[in-house]
């Protein structure tokens, strides 16, 4: 069945129950105070910005938007782009697109104007929905992109080069359009994270989306009593597919705008959240804030919080050890996935396997996995190879890119590009990205292993290891290290700490700097290579 049927079912069964809540701690609502003939508007610090909608309203909004698109000529198979920050309108717009038989095309909110145009052209987008944060960027390219596209604005203060979404959709029917949609119909185009170059357009069908909902609900056992706190951006498969567990169970979800530790804990308490998905930096920030006394956990209602899970990047075992000290009652889980496998879940640790922290787990619900050599043959247990996955959530293709598709899909298997190994119990551990492996003096160095070790240093907040060119060894490992607030550390201290590692794995260079991460928490290693590999080459030329 198409994913839209789950929304329609929830509207029928749980119509008056809350589906979505939007919370923005950075905005204080105002209250109106009437005094004689004057009306004053003053801040109300006790009332934070909060909106919510029921399942019935959610479905009606999706229907109105779908009918608006159909009235404007959108047909089955067309593409509609979404360039919005997380907000209450995001998911109704997404489902409205799907109800027309068109494809939803979410865009990364960090894209520059040129990158937005590139992705619109690559995915052949016919309509673009955008919010107030993007007016400047869209204005730069409006003349070019509006020649063949409709532009709709979501928010207050619609710019002159776009039409207003609310005023157009409000007058359309709230009844679902009569469009036949099947499992095999194309549903969405997502873009790769761009950590290895320009993003690719990833095509998924409705079967993929429904499979991801089944996987999430199976892994985390969402019931209608659960409340999911969603913080990562909805344009990414990770956030949306975790939310699909709430869609499957008909339970409430909270969209939190902002990642400050106090805001996360406060929202968990106020909204009675039971499931929270965090990225590594956010979990670290929460623990650091608790250690500094900035967050006093006993002041919050947190007893209902049952599950903390992390994905999108390797998870340091030391982080989970710290977390369990502060939150001993929490279940912990991690999921591995790619946008090409419709996000998280193709490999899954499971809440009963915390003794295997550091592993990404075993094959997820409805998935097959193997670790293979360059020829696609399964390697012996314990050996390093490339992780392959197979299941209903594998992408259809890279849109209009036959070469990249052929390189990535092989006999139904998706080649992930991640190097991994399996332990004696069948648990899979990520070693590194295939393209990130450092070859130094003939030895393969896997940066994730070095990063995990360095993160166990008490002063280290974050770390990224990259290869720098070296005349004698070919490459050397360099560690870019971010230090925790209020702490100090020297290069000598890091080098002394690294004496516990085999000599060939020790970083040859330590650089104290911020570690850039994209919105889904992945380290932006191309950016680091651009900064430091250039410096290294200049230094080598001077030296020689």
Which pLDDT score, from 0 to 100, does residue 530 have?
Answer: 84
DSSP of 36-53: TTEEEEEEEEEEEEEEEE
Burial category of 56 from C-beta neighbours within 10 Å (exposed 0-12, middle 13-18, buried 19 and up): middle
Query: Higher confidence at residue 448 or residue 68?
Result: 68
Residue 176 DSSP symbol? P
Residue listed under structure tokens 């369990």: 324
Fold that domain 437-543 belongs to in CATH: GMP Synthetase; Chain A, domain 3 (3.30.300)
Q: Are 53 and 19 in contact (CB under 8 A)?
A: yes
Q: Is the pLDDT of residue 35 over 70?
A: no
Q: Are 193 and 339 in contact (CB under 8 A)?
A: yes
Q: Are strands 150-153 and 163-164 parallel, antiparallel or unpaired?
A: parallel
- Provide the CB-side half-sphere exposure for 537 (13 A, CA): 5
Q: How far apart are the first and last CA of the chain?
A: 65
Q: Is the pLDDT of residue 519 over 60?
A: yes
Q: Are 196 and 530 in contact (CB under 8 A)?
A: no
Residue listed under structure tokens 């004696």: 424
Q: What is the mean pLDDT of residues 283-289?
A: 91
Which pLDDT score, from 0 to 100, does residue 292 have?
Answer: 92
> pTM here?
0.81
- Give the list of residues 6+ apart from residue 454 with CB closer than 8 angstroms, or none: 460, 463, 465, 479, 481, 494, 497, 498, 507
Residue 280 phi/psi, 5-degree rounding, is -55, -50
CATH number of 306-433: 2.30.38.10
Q: Is the pLDDT of residue 43 over 70?
A: no
Q: What is the mean pLDDT of residues 503-520?
A: 86
Q: What is the mean pLDDT of residues 82-101?
A: 97
Q: Is the pLDDT of residue 363 over 50?
A: yes
Write out pLDDT tens, residues 228-274: 999 989 998 888 889 999 999 999 999 999 889 999 999 999 999 99
CA distance 299 to 475: 51
Which pLDDT score, from 0 to 100, does residue 30 have?
Answer: 45
DSSP of 209-243: HHHHHHHHHHHH---TT-EEEE-S-TTSHHHHHHH
- Give the list of residues 6+ apart from residue 197 with CB closer than 8 angstroms, or none: 526
CA distance 413 to 411: 6
Q: Are 215 and 194 in contact (CB under 8 A)?
A: no
Which pLDDT score, from 0 to 100, does residue 538 have?
Answer: 37
197 conformational bin, left if phi > 0, alpha if psi -120 to 50, beta if neither: left
Strand order in the sheet with 460-470: 460-470, 474-483, 509-512
Which pLDDT score, from 0 to 100, does residue 38 have?
Answer: 39
CA distance 289 to 485: 10
From 336, 405, 414, 415, select the one nearest 374 (Cα to Cα): 415
Residue listed under structure tokens 């279940």: 331
CA distance 66 to 339: 25
- Give the list of residues 6+ apart from residue 526 with CB closer than 8 angstroms, or none: 195, 196, 197
Q: Which of 115-129, 183-197, 202-216, 495-509 has the lowest mean pLDDT?
A: 183-197
Q: Is the pLDDT of residue 41 over 50?
A: no
Write out pLDDT tens, residues 372-416: 999 999 999 999 999 999 999 999 999 999 999 999 999 999 999
Domain boundaries, the chain: 4-26+49-208, 306-433, 437-543
CA distance 213 to 209: 7
Strands (E), 36-110: 38-54, 79-83, 103-106
Burial category of 258 from C-beta neighbours within 10 Å (exposed 0-12, middle 13-18, buried 19 and up): middle
- Architecture (CATH level 2) of domain 4-26+49-208: 3-Layer(aba) Sandwich (3.40)
| Residue 534's pLDDT band (cuts 50, 70, 90) | low
265 conformational bin, left if phi > 0, alpha if psi -120 to 50, beta if neither: alpha
């Amino acid at each position: 069945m198409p994913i839209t049927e789950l929304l329609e079912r929830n509207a029928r069964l749980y119509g008056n129950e809350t589906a979505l809540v939007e919370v923005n701690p950075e905005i204080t609502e105002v209250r109106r105070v009437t005094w004689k003939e004057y009306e004053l508007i003053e801040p109300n610090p006790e009332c934070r910005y909060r909106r919510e909608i029921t399942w019935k309203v959610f479905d009606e909004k999706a229907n109105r938007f779908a009918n608006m698109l159909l009235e404007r000529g959108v047909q089955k198979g067309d593409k509609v782009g979404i360039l919005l920050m997380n907000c209450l309108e995001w998911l109704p717009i997404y489902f409205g697109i799907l109800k027309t038989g068109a494809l939803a095309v979410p865009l990364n909110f960090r894209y520059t104007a040129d990158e937005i145009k590139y992705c619109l052209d690559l995915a052949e987008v016919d309509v673009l929905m955008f919010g107030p944060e993007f007016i400047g960027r869209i204005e730069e390219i409006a003349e070019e992109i509006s020649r063949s596209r409709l532009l709709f604005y979501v928010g207050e203060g619609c710019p002159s080069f776009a039409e207003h979404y609310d005023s157009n959709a409000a007058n359309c029917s709230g009844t679902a359009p009569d469009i036949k949609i099947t499992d095999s119909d194309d549903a969405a185009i997502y873009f790769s994270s761009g950590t290895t170059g320009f993003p690719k357009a990833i095509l998924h069908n409705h079967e993929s989306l429904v499979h991801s909902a089944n996987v999430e609900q199976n892994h985390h056992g969402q019931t209608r009593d659960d409340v999911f706190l969603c913080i990562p951006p909805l344009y990414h498969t990770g956030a949306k597919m975790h939310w699909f567990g709430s869609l499957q169970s008909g339970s409430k979800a909270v969209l939190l705008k902002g990642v400050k530790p106090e805001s996360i804990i406060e929202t968990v308490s106020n909204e009675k959240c039971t499931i929270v998905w965090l990225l590594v930096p956010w979990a670290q920030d929460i623990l650091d804030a608790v250690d500094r006394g900035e967050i006093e956990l006993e002041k919050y209602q947190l007893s209902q919080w049952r599950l903390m899970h992390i994905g999108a990047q390797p998870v340091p075992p030391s982080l989970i050890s710290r977390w369990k000290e502060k939150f001993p009652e929490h279940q912990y889980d991690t999921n591995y996935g790619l946008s090409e496998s419709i996000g998280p879940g193709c490999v899954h640790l499971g809440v009963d396997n915390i003794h295997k922290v550091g592993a990404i787990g075993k094959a997820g619900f409805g998935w097959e996995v193997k670790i293979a050599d360059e020829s696609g043959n399964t390697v012996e247990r314990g050996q390093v190879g490339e992780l392959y996955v197979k299941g209903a959530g594998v992408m259809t293709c890279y849109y209009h890119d036959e070469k990249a598709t052929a390189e990535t899909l092989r006999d139904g298997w998706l080649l992930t590009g991640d190097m991994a190994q399996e332990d004696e119990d069948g648990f899979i551990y990520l070693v590194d990205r295939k393209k990130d492996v450092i070859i130094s003096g003939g030895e393969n160095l896997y940066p994730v292993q070095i990063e995990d070790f360095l993160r166990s240093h008490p002063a280290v907040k974050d770390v990224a290891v990259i290869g720098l060119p070296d005349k004698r060894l070919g490459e050397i490992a360099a560690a870019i290290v971010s230090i925790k607030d209020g702490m100090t550390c020297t290069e000598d201290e890091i080098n002394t700490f690294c004496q516990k590692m085999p000599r060939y794995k020790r970083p040859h260079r330590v650089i104290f700097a911020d570690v850039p991460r994209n919105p889904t928490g992945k380290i932006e290693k191309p950016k680091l290579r651009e900064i430091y590999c250039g410096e290294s080459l200049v230094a080598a030329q001077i030296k020689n």
